[in-house]
């Protein structure tokens, strides 16, 4: 099992673990439904782990909403 550092993920989502979880779960669902992975990983890697790699590499980002 691979490890994705939480620090890398928090930097991408405005230091909110809640936003990381929501973004990763939505992206993992897209991957599970057939969307292509945006990172080069083995086919045995689970969609949730692939989603975390995509967030860590900056391929999937959180939108910043205007207040």
Domain ranges of the chain: 6-56
pLDDT of residue 28: 96
Which pLDDT tens digit goes with each residue over 18-41?
Answer: 999 999 999 999 999 999 999 999
Q: What is the CATH number of domain 6-56?
A: 3.90.940
pLDDT of residue 8: 84
pLDDT of residue 67: 65
Which pLDDT tens digit goes with each residue over 35-60?
Answer: 999 999 998 999 999 999 999 999 99
Check: CB of residue 12 under 8 Å from CB of residue 55. Answer: yes
Taking each helix axis as running N to C, give the angle between helix 47-56 and helix 17-32, from 0 to 180 degrees, rounded to the nearest 10: 130
61 pLDDT band, cuts 50/70/90, is confident
């Amino acid at each position: 099992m691979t490890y994705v550092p939480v620090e890398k993920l928090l930097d991408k989502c405005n230091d909110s673990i809640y936003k990381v979880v929501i973004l990763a779960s939505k992206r993992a669902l897209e991957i599970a439904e057939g969307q292509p992975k945006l990172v080069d990983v083995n086919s045995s890697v689970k969609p949730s782990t692939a989603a975390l790699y995509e967030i860590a590499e900056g391929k999937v980002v959180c939108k910043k909403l205007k207040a």
